[in-house]
Chain A
Amino acid sequence: MTPPTGPAESGPMTLFEARGVTKRFGGLTALAAVDFSLESGIASIIGPNGAGKTTLFNIFTGLYPADAGVVTFKGAPLLGRRPDEITALGICRTFQNIRLFANMTAIENVLVGMHARVSLGLWDVLSHRPRFRDAERALQARAGELLARVGLRDSANDVARNLPYGDQRRLELARALASEPSLLLLDEPTAGMTQGEAGALMRLLRDLVAELGLAIVLIEHNMRVVMEVSDRVTVLDHGEKIAEGTPREVQTNARVIEAYLGTRRHERRRAAG
């Protein structure tokens, strides 16, 4: 359906690869055989509202079952796994409509994010062995570092519900980082931020990629952000991938312009080639 675009696959094993991912909600096809792969760096998924971007994330993280397709992460199949198993494998996400643990403090939110990396049993907790105390102290120290990283160190003991909107988004990022992912899925991380805040966040993401070797997939509406930060851009429209490539390639793609501006959409042929 979609012609292979972008650079050819390199290396024996791709970090993350999705092939033919399809999802239907009743009669509506939310995703039609979408392919997506990522080796490293930052990839963005853009597209008009309802294009299926968040649905794609929900399938990648195990929140929705897919109707067809194959998704592999470091060679391991993902589809059919529970969300917490996928997180333990090293994929973590943030949500478009912020989903923090509202009545817990910022640092507690981050600590929950570390759950998959805690190797303590019930007996460790009840007996308070030194092993437990040391582990708990280490977790807390790391949570403090993560909060400092996103600039929320002074708000560590504030209840998440009371944080300003932009801080909540950054806290979600810190919480996702807490699970030590090698792939981070960010769903509109700059929504509601000023251009300055968004820029700072993108610099942070760039740093994370450079330091931790993290791969990031962004869903973004802020085009300036997308074009500045992305190594590659994938464009979805009505559940289909209509373009893929470098930011510059995508910007000049006729189908993308058409999808965004909505001209002559009714005449668009499904099988473009």
Chain B
Amino acid sequence: MIQAALAVGLVAVSAWAVATFPRSVLVFLLFQGSLLFAYVARIPAWLRAALLGAALLVLMPAIGYFNGYYLEVATQVGIFAALALGLNIVVGLAGLLDLGYVAFYAVGAYSWAIFGSAQANQIFGGNAFPLAPIWFYAFLLVGLLVAAGTGVLLGLPVLRLRGDYLAIVTLGFGEVIRVLANNLDKPINITNGPKGITPIGRPPLPLDIPYSEAFYFLVLVIVGAVILANRRLEDSHVGRAWEAIREDELAAQAMGVPLVRSKLLAFACGASFAGVMGVLFSAKQVFINPESFTFLESIGVLSMVILGGMGSIPGAVIGATVVTVLNLQVLKGLSLWLNELKNAGVTVLGYSLANLPTQLEPAKYERMIFGVILVLMMIFRPQGIFPVRRRSRELAER
């Protein structure tokens, strides 16, 4: 009862605070924290659904009206959450360490970028492209299929590999895709090389609100679909077979799980989510080049999965949120704050911050601070923020 009141109050107060202080990062973090509390608090399921639904469907777009950057953050979180969920199938459920996951993201992104811009004319000649923006929706499916096919393609040669060996091969695969994107501007210009492709068509959205707000809802719908698909897969014979492979490959096979098919399915399912999000990403950015698909991106998504809790759906979502918000807001906010102190000439323990060399800005240490956080997490909470909870099954009385 107290928790319910607290959850409602927190969400309401923090939403009001964001509207009042739209520039304060701390206040926005408070809002995110209140959502987290609403999720973990012991409150009735309907209240939790109502709170989270209201926050995501009403409050967040309203906040975006006051500060557009927050909406951008929320959209990014959504994209990364879906990526983390896809990788979670491969790494978390099936236990296949994939270090080149961003390759599938790239494949999806390029599939729409090429046909949603004038780039395709370079390949086929003529003047038929770009396709009308409405084709974007068809390309969500195309991106899914192409990425799934690429996943199977990667899966086939590496099926016999496990653990470290698999990780190395997938790492190489990720690099191959990036290098291909970088160099396929000759002899036929497919990807336009390092210069990248622009402008990429943005999908027409049926809502009569600012475009970034409408796009936020599109991301929300797609992430919702991804979560639903993930839950259904996990909670079926398919998901159980993946987990069995992770636990004991040989025993799984001896119990009737076809190893090759199950592993390929895991690769294909994981990749297909990345493909869809790639299509979405290229439309959101309007411009893509190979720089967006580096090894560091793969590691970033992997760290979301591990930080959140391997094999756990809420874990993947919270991991994506934490990492994205950390990179986009907390560390940048820290730099800004320090700069303000510096410009104001504040003195700490007799040392004037004005003399602080620029090399000590937190923004320059983003990766380091992120790394330290990862190390601390792995030492003190290796199972992740939301570790997997085994579902209890009700057995009929006899």
Q: Which residues of A contact B (CB under 8 A)?
A: 61, 63, 82-84, 87-88, 92-93, 95, 99-105, 107-108, 111-118, 120, 122, 125-126, 128, 132, 136, 139-141, 144, 147-148, 153, 156-157, 159, 175-176, 178-179
Contact = CB atoms under 8 A, between A and B. Distances in A.
22 contacts: A82-B258, A83-B254, A84-B255, A87-B254, A87-B255, A100-B247, A100-B248, A104-B244, A105-B390, A111-B237, A113-B255, A114-B237, A115-B244, A115-B255, A116-B256, A125-B232, A128-B232, A144-B395, A147-B395, A157-B392, A176-B255, A178-B255
A112 B241 contact: yes
Interface of B: 229, 232-233, 236-238, 240-241, 243-244, 247-248, 250-259, 265, 390-393, 395-396, 398
B390 A157 contact: yes
B256 A88 contact: yes
B86 to A, nearest CB: 14
Contacts of A116: 255-256
Contacts, number: 115
- The 5 A-B residue pairs whose C-beta atoms are closest, nearest first, are A116-B256, A87-B256, A101-B247, A99-B251, A144-B395
A63 B250 contact: yes
B255 A126 contact: no
Nearest to B253: A83
A61 B243 CA distance: 22
A87 B258 CA distance: 10
Chain A binding site: helix, strand, loop or mixed by DSSP? helix
A140 B393 contact: yes
Contacts of B393: 105, 107, 140, 156-157
Contacts of B236: 120, 125, 132, 136
B251 A101 contact: yes
B256 A113 contact: yes
A118 B390 contact: no
Contacts of A104: 240, 243-244, 247, 390
B35 to A, nearest CB: 27
A118 B237 contact: yes
Contacts of A125: 232-233, 236-238
A120 B233 contact: no
A123 B251 CA distance: 26
Given A83-B253, A157-B392, 20 more contacts: A82-B259, A99-B250, A103-B243, A104-B243, A112-B243, A112-B244, A113-B256, A115-B240, A115-B241, A115-B256, A116-B255, A120-B237, A122-B265, A125-B232, A125-B236, A126-B229, A126-B232, A139-B237, A157-B390, A178-B255
